[in-house]
């Protein structure tokens, strides 16, 4: 509505200044009521979670969400079991809570419209951190090679990062992250014998995350089904979220200081400019020109 202060006068007010009346009068004649304006608004729903789980179909995202929180998303051995985002709460012993969002699996080309995952990337847009979920046993790309492929998790990570880079302004790629190598129970021989193989695969993923320049807090080997490494993973997620929030808080404080300094400078320059007689004019709401 124009002018912005006209709403201070009730619609029945016909006074012009100078006058006295009980309501706050703005010094202008009351403006005639205008017809209401009509808008077409398109609202987009975005989940607000602290951590977003991203990974290929079948990597075990929903299984992890189910283990870390009380959420019970559908888990099955076929790809694209999850068709809509699910948010779960992770509770810590000191009563802190963080929210995890499980989204449908991403596939190569998601950023240009393949699969359904990209539709849901908007749900992780506003998260503080990402959890990359990789299938350490084979990974999605292992299928074409007839089963186990020790380099598949690295390739999966590369593809995921490329897809995040291609989404929106590409800032998801820079987000604070934890990489989780799931299905550890299926890699190598059972017990200590298979330890070297498991470590080697996780090491390869760690090297890849450094090479890709991700802001990775840790690379963890876990098993959602066997319950291996989940406590450490939960602690890493919390640390990532807290660090990311702290960084945001510092950036906002710095921005605030910059804005205040700019306003003070502008005001000082305004003082200098005023060469007229008497008091400097008062600008309503700092808006020159009214
Ligand atoms: N052995 C083993 N199997 C696992 C593990 N985590 C998940 N799985 C199995 O992997 C399959 C896929 O798990 P989901 O949790 O549905 O995978 P997802 O990433 O949510 O899959 P989409 O919803 O299709 O994207 C299921 O059969 C799980 O039981 C694990 O740590 N070890
Ligand atoms: Mg799922």
Say whether pLDDT at 165 is over 70: yes
Atom of ligand 1 nearest to the CA of 59: 19
Q: Looking at the CA of 68, which ligand is closest?
A: 1
Neighbours of 97 (CB within 10 A): 11
The residue whose C-alpha atom lies closest to atom 30 belonging to ligand 1 is: 183
Alpha carbon 288 to its chain centroid, in Å, reads 38
Question: What's the pTM?
Answer: 0.76
Model confidence pLDDT, tens digit, residues 249-272: 999 999 999 999 999 988 888 766
Model confidence pLDDT, tens digit, residues 211-222: 999 999 999 999
Residue 60 Cα to ligand 2 midpoint, Å, equals 7
Say whether pLDDT at 273 is over 80: no
The residue whose C-alpha atom lies closest to atom 16 belonging to ligand 1 is: 75
pLDDT at 134: 95
Contact 181, 202 (CB under 8 A): yes
Grade residue 94 by pLDDT with cuts at 50, 70 and 90.
very high
139: left (phi over 0), alpha (psi -120 to 50) or beta: left
Model confidence pLDDT, tens digit, residues 179-220: 999 999 988 777 777 888 899 999 999 999 999 999 999 999
Q: Is 235 exposed, middle or buried (0-12, 13-18, 19+ CB in 10 A)?
A: middle
Residue 81 Cα to ligand 1 midpoint, Å, equals 9
Grade residue 279 by pLDDT with cuts at 50, 70 and 90.
low
Ranges of each domain in the chain = 51-247
pLDDT at 146: 43
Residue 74 Cα to ligand 2 midpoint, Å, equals 6
Atom of ligand 1 nearest to the CA of 228: 31
CATH dotted code for 51-247: 3.40.50.300
Q: Candidates 52, 55, 60: which one to mutate for ligand 1, based on the most atoms within 8 Å of Cβ?
A: 60
Pocket of ligand 1 (CB under 6 A): 55, 57-63, 75-77, 79-82, 104-105, 182-183, 185-186, 223-225
Q: Counting every residue, how long is the chain?
A: 290
Residue 79 Cα to ligand 2 midpoint, Å, equals 8
Q: Distance (Å, rounded) from C-alpha 133 to C-alpha 123?
A: 16
């Amino acid at each position: 509505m124009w002018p912005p202060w006209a709403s201070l006068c009730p619609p029945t007010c016909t006074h012009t200044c100078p006058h006295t009346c009980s309501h706050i009068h703005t010094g202008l004649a009351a403006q005639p009521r205008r017809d209401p304006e009509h808008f077409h608004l398109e609202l987009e729903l975005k989940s607000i979670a602290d951590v977003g789980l991203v990974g290929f179909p079948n990597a075990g995202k929903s299984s992890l969400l189910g283990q870390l929180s009380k959420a019970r998303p559908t888990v099955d051995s076929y790809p694209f079991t999850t068709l809509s985002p699910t948010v779960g709460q992770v509770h810590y012993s000191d009563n802190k809570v963080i929210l995890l969002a499980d989204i449908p699996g991403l596939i190569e080309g998601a950023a240009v419209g393949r699969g359904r995952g990209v539709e849901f990337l908007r749900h992780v847009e506003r998260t503080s951190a990402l959890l990359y979920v990789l299938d350490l046993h084979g990974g999605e790309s292992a299928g074409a090679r007839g089963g186990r492929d020790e380099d598949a998790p690295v390739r999966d990570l590369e593809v995921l990062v490329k897809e995040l880079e291609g989404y929106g302004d590409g800032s998801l790629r820079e987000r604070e992250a934890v990489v989780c190598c799931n299905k550890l129970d299926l890699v190598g021989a059972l017990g200590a014998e298979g330890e070297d193989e498991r470590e080697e695969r996780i090491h390869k993923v760690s090297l890849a995350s450094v090479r890709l320049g991700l802001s990775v807090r840790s690379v963890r080997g876990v098993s959602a089904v066997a319950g291996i490494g989940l406590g450490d993973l939960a602690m890493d997620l919390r640390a990532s979220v807290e660090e990311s929030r702290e960084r945001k808080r510092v950036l906002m404080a710095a921005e605030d200081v910059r804005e205040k300094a700019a306003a003070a400078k502008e005001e000082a320059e305004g003082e200098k400019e005023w060469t007229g007689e008497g008091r400097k004019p008062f600008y309503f709401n700092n808006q020159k020109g009214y």
